[in-house]
Structure 1
């Protein structure tokens, strides 16, 4: 019996060790070794996904970035979507629902973009603080607003991903806990609703990982 609804997201174990975080690396054990040697339909599908992302990220970066920079963002997309899908399986810890995981991805990226931009393109970074066509009277306010919106970017990236993962899992948990007290007919309806919600969560897992990667690409394109 759960004492707290959020205990499903508790990373601690019986030995007071955060062993649940090892679920992030479960994919290395699940993925067969022959995946890298013998091409399969899954392999071709994943290559198609990565090629499409590479072409789209190149367009967003305006081909001004260093060659191979899209690999970093495709890897970011891969690790997020992998952890999101792993969290949908029963009894597997959802690491992407924790801010410590999402902030560890967004904060170093944002810091590296800011440091690179302010050192190499200082004038360009200053021009971003005042949008074109701003009246001189509003310029001080626009600088403050743009600075705040720039500072909260890693927080919004992290909170968006974590909140979406938590919301879906909480809804599934809440509906699942009402099952034992329901009549048989309602249990059948509940199972159908749970399957539909699980399908929705699969879509959310893909969409949120894509949004995280695309926003990271857009933030990096602004510093060049």
Structure 2
């Protein structure tokens, strides 16, 4: 593990050193599509005690007709597979299930390409509208359930955008909003939605600072899922 982290840090420092000074005009597509970046991202996700290639990367419990006390609607990060990804989604759901056993169902955000270009533009509007449609479905299909909205990286952007589309009469349905590696860190949510928001942004995560430059720390939010789950448990 120590050897892996050392290698990952070396990759990150090499990658950062090859870039121009950080600015909002940096094109991250070159970074994210580079073989060295993809290699260390995949290795990091598989080796810090979280999900792997065998993880369930798609969850559609709500649209499959299920209900439960808590419905977690989650938007994955850019370029991730399925509708909950591999970096955070699966371990996040596991953590919530540990503190609220038998009480949750999970729904990923579909109609959301999670592309780099959309992240640069502020997040996927189609993904945001799909998230809102899932809140509406939860309200009609599961009227007694509480909803948690969550997203990682571009998924956090999607969650911010979705909040702007949610009708005010559904605000009370949303018990908590939990964000990881949020590019819009510090931006308020509308109305009472802002009363129950937890954001996990680590020191050194340039994406949280508004720069589209991924670093090693951006892939370590699996270490925060326990705290996030505890936050949710207090509100559901």
Query: TM-score, normalization: structure 2?
Result: 0.31
Q: Which structure: greater strand fraction? A: 2
Query: TM-score, normalization: structure 1?
Result: 0.32
